[in-house]
Amino acid sequence: MKKLFWYLLLIFVVLVMLTLILVVDKKVDNKDEVTQDQTKEKLSLLNNIDKKIDYFHYNYLDRYLDYQKKYSYLSDIDIVTRVNLGLDQPFYQNTKPSNELNKITILVNKYTYLPEDYVPNNLIKISDHFSSSTRELVYEAKESFEKMATQAKKEGYTIRVVSAYRSYYYQKGLYDNYASRDGIDIADTYSARPGYSEHQTGLVIDIDNGKLDFNHFEETEEFTWMENNAHLYGFILRYPKDKEEITGYDYEAWHYRYVGKEIAKSIKESNLTFDEYYVRYLEN
């Protein structure tokens, strides 16, 4: 009799446990269904953009929607692009190290930085014919620049480098001086903080025409020549007019970045900044 009692008790306990498991599983299934429904509803607010582009991040979904509320006039693609860049957060917050050191596609901006000790490979001196003093660029960029400057010279134009590679510490000295003079908020609009300067990549040139100060480069015939020809040699205007909210910098008519001919051509045709192009086509 005792054995029968314990046997029946065991069966009862097992049945209770199975019932509890089924109830819990059903609750989990219901919760998953609710979560999936909520996600579908959120995606519909972005016109299901996740199915149209391959750089959509589902873990950024709420950030996309928050940004959309603030900038409802932007397209869904622009919203995704800007949030992926980090533009839904203040500059210099939630930063990360660049993962493409010594590549011409390297991205350096106010969210992506270079190590203090980073010096690009293959730095080489620019010819004195095309530089205001001793300046260096990565070999590929240097070769392309000199071809461009040589062609410009043949056509009667002077393209001269007034700044190229800068070390972390050189940039720190510049930035600290600007911040001391104008204050951090103003300095941040036209100067990069150390580690966040593209000049440290060895892929950037600031240029003039050997007559006017570089700040007046837009007023020169050489600027028009660069507008029409820079991309043919792999260079882009890095901080264009009316793109300040994306690049984080004032318009700089004299600041050019080497990205290679193919990318330079695509950027010119698309009217994207390098930041936008990177998110859409280069970022892994």
Gyration radius from the chain CA atoms? 27
Tell me, rounded to whole angstroms, the distance of Cα 12 from its chain centroid. 63
Q: Which of 146, 198, 252, 276 is catalytic?
A: 252
What are the backbone dihedrals phi and psi of residue 158, each rounded to the nearest 5 degrees, phi first?
Answer: -115, 120
Q: How many CB atoms lie within 10 A of CB 158?
A: 17
Q: Look-up: residue for tokens 């104008």?
A: 182
Whether 252 sits among the annotated catalytic residues: the reply is yes
Of 86, 34, 33, 35, whose CA–CA distance to 60 is shortest? 86
φ, ψ at 93 (rounded to 5°): -115, 150
Residue 97: beta bridge partners? 113
Backbone angles phi, psi at 207, to 5 degrees: -130, 160
| Residue 195 tokens, joined | 């580690």
* 89 vs 15: CA distance, rounded Å: 53
Distance between CA atoms of residues 33 and 95, nearest Å: 35
The residues annotated as belonging to the active site are 252
